[in-house]
Amino acid sequence: MVIVAAATGKPLGWAMRGLTPAGVLLVAVVLMDLVEARRDRLLLPLCGMLCVLSIVFLTRTDAFLATRQLIAIIIGIFLMVALYFLIEDIRSLARFKYLAGLSAIALLAATMLWGREINGARLWLSIPHLVTFQSGEVAKILMAIFLAGYAADYRQMLGRRGRGRISIQTPSLRSLAPLLLIVISCLAIFVGQHDLGTAILFFGLFVTMFYLATGQPAYGIAAVALFAVGLALAYQLFPQVGVRISSWLNPWADPSGIGYQPLQAMFCLGEGGILGAGLGHLSVTNLPAAAPDMILVVIGQDLGLVGSVGVVIIYALISVRSYSLAWQATDRFASLLAAALATVFALQTLIIMGGVLRLIPLTGMTTPFLSYGGTSIVINFLAVGLLLAVSRDCVPQPEKAR
Amino acid sequence: MEIGLLLTIGKYLFVALLYVFIAVVFRTLILHIATAQRPVAQHGGQPAQRPVIERDSGQSPPEPSQPKLEAKEAAAEPPQVARLLVVETSAANLSAGTSFPLSKSISIGRKSHNDLSLDDRYVSATHTLIVQQDNSFILRDYHSTNGTVYNGVRIQDDVALSDGDEITIGTTTFRYQH
């Protein structure tokens, strides 16, 4: 943890602000250690490091947003600790799987009906005088709990093998019905809201969970086919999908319109070069949506290839760590839950990084822990809280830390 | 000029610190993996063992406090006694093939006050009890963190042991023989 605190250094004012989340996290860790020190020791420092970078680079792009982000981080850490202590045994969470699945659907449906529009997308649900949050983010965690609980229970039914070598005996409709109902309605809502990035994320989560629960590659193959069909349909049905794809394939066709953002991102990354232009050396005012979508580009410009690769390594380490928790967990539900959370995290990072680097079309998704977005930060911390609870309850660990 | 130099140093320092952080995480990760595969024994600091249950295998490790007298007594015991045979272990003070006769209720754990102590970091201070009831033995988990595994299943309640059952505690697997 000390390393997190030591990891900021340049223009001193920003660095000082960057240290705040590290300090808060340190307090949280000490608090958690006072009760019980047996849990994963790497996830929190890694996430803390991302938060520090987040605050530093948000301060550099937009100081007002950085303050709000800082508040979100502190709330997130607080809620994470609360959740961690509230869950006495992560396995007991399996009981709430249907509640979690249904409330995810309810949340999304409520957003579709009464949601608040911000920047032309109705993804926000607001409880008057209390909070406004992005329901898709909340649904991610609820969905992970539901899928893990369901897959742990119905493993046999989903995975019965047929006679042929590849053929799967279709599971009985009764065992599949609740799953399909929730999955399809969830995807339908996202598509209905034109939030296709999140739809892809959830689709990836469903497919991964199906595969992990059954161990049958046939599901994966079927999913790829389904994905292709879905993409073709979306391309025909929704004009903005076509816009996204053409701005990805050929940004020069309209350099001041739809191609503006991807082109500016490329220019910024190019200015960064290998070693970077230096923190705050160049302006990023002409980079649209820098704080929510393009924070990685800002890092790429300031710290260059070297710095960005460092950030990518941190993301890789968090993913590896989460998957290894899933691998080691002794309980099936806990294992699947960790895998689901890891998948959401890794997939989301992959989609946004690919988008920023123009490897795949850009979708408006948050970069976990790094980009501006209150709900995203809080939810990611809650996910880490769940992972820590998994590591505490179900992963064999050395009795003494050192 | 000087400020420019300072800024350049600061710029590289920032990235360098990022990588120092990553290096530390990597080191910890590798350490974790190494420990998970082969729990490191802590020699030296361990207080002397005093096993109430005696070892009677030929290949018991050189444990200084190993009471030889008791081992002889064990050999003299009637053959129809229940035994715990070590099938597999990474505990530093134990080796596979060793077997312990069971003649009364015992406790198993990492600390030396147990009747059978396992020098294994995956074992809780007091991990498991084997309770004698009449002529048979009952396996009871003593709120251990990593659990007591009986024939591949982590136990919640007491389990009556019968011949051939396998008990896993930390990295050690015993076979119960009766």
Cα nearest neighbour of B15 on chain A: A307
What is the mean predicted confidence (pLDDT) over A338-362? 90
pLDDT digits (tens, 9 = 90+) for A217-227: 887 888 889 88
Least confidently predicted of A226-240, A328-342, A385-399, B38-52? B38-52
Q: Cβ–Cβ of B11/A314 closer than 8 Å?
A: no
Q: Which residue has the tokens 């050192």?
A: A402
Report DSSP state, residue A134. E
Q: What is the DSSP letter of B46?
A: P
Residue of chain A whose Cα is closest to the Cα of B6: A10
Can you give the residue range of the structural domain that contains A32? 2-160+171-394
CB contact under 8 A, B122 and A330: no
Asked if residue A166 belongs to a domain, the reply is no
Which residues from chain B sit within 8 angstroms of residue A16, using beta carbons? none
Contacts B19 to A, Cβ<8 Å: 310
Q: At what angle do helices A332-356 and A295-328 cross, to 10 degrees?
A: 160
Residues 6+ apart with CB under 8 A from A333: A90, A91, A93, A94, A148, A149, A152
Average pLDDT over residues B125-147: 86
Tell which residue, A53, A34, A36, A48, has the closest CA to residue A1: A48
Distance from the Cα of B121 to chain A's closest Cα (Å) equals: 5
Is residue A349 very low, low, confident or very high in pLDDT (cuts 50, 70, 90)? very high
Q: With an 8 Å Cβ cutoff, are A278 and B123 in contact?
A: no
pTM: 0.72
What would the pLDDT profile of A271-325 be if each residue is shown by its tens digit? Answer: 888 888 777 777 767 777 777 788 888 888 888 898 899 999 999 999 999 998 8
* Domain count of the fold of chain A: 1
A310 to B147: CB separation less than 8 angstroms, yes or no: no
Q: Give DSSP secondary structure letters for A205-263.
A: HHHHHHHHHH--HHHHHHHHHHHHHHHHHHHHH-HHHHHHHHHHH-GGGSTTTTTHHHH
Residue B36 has pLDDT above 80, yes or no: no
Contact B124 A330 (CB under 8 A): no
- Write out the residues of chain B at the interface with chain A, using a CB-CB cutoff of 8 A: 7-8, 10-15, 17-22, 24-26, 28-29, 32, 35-36, 39, 110, 121-125, 145-147, 154
Enumerate residues 6+ apart whose C-beta is below 8 A from A67: none
Q: pLDDT tens-digit profile of B10-31?
A: 778 888 888 888 888 888 888 7
Tell me what pLDDT residue A350 has: 92
Q: Supply the pLDDT for residue B37.
A: 54
Give bridge partners of residue A116 from the DSSP assignment: A124
Question: What is the rounded radius of gyration, in angstroms, for the C-alpha atoms of chain A?
Answer: 21
Structural contact between residues A247 and A254, judged by C-beta atoms closer than 8 angstroms: yes
Residues of B in contact with A310 (CB under 8 A): 15, 18-19, 22
Torsion of CA A130, A135, A137, A143, to 10 degrees: 120
How crowded is residue A121: how many other Cβ atoms within 10 Å of its Cβ?
14
In chain A, the percentage of residues whose pLDDT exceeds 70 is 87
> Which residues lie below 8 Å from residue B153, measured CB to CB, with a gap of 6+?
none
pLDDT in tens, A105-116: 888 888 888 777
* Element (DSSP H or E) covering residue B82: strand B82-88
The Cα-based distances of A1 to A23, A26, A27, B23 in angstroms read 9, 7, 10, 14
Residue A60 lies in a domain: yes
User: A399 lies in a domain?
Assistant: no
Task: Classify each residue of A258-283 as buried b or exposed e, where b means 16 or more C-beta atoms within 10 Å of its C-beta.
Answer: bbbbbbbbeebbebbeeebbbbbeee
In a domain, A401, yes or no: no
Strongest mean pLDDT among A17-21, A396-400, B96-100: B96-100
The kind and range of the H/E element at B159 are strand B159-160
Angle at B78 between CA B75 and CA B80, to 5 degrees: 120
Lowest mean pLDDT among A16-20, A51-55, A149-153: A16-20
Closest CA to A394 of A350, A355, A345, A336: A336
Query: Is A68 domain-assigned?
Result: yes
Distance CA B94, CA B131 (A): 22
Domain contains A165: no
Instruction: Please determine, for residue A212, whether its predicted confidence score (pLDDT) is greater than 90.
Output: no
Q: Are strands B116-117 and B106-109 parallel, antiparallel or unpaired?
A: parallel
Nearest residue of chain A to residue B123 (CA atoms): A399
DSSP A145-174: HHHHHHHHHSHHHHH-B-SSSS-BPPPPHH
Q: What chain A residue is nearest to B42 in terms of C-alpha separation?
A: A402
Integer Cα distance of A276 and A302 in angstroms: 5
A3 closest CB neighbour out of B11, B24, B145: B24
The predicted model gives A43-64 an average pLDDT of 87
Closest residue in A to B119 (Cα–Cα): A399
Angle at A45 between CA A40 and CA A50, to 5 degrees: 130
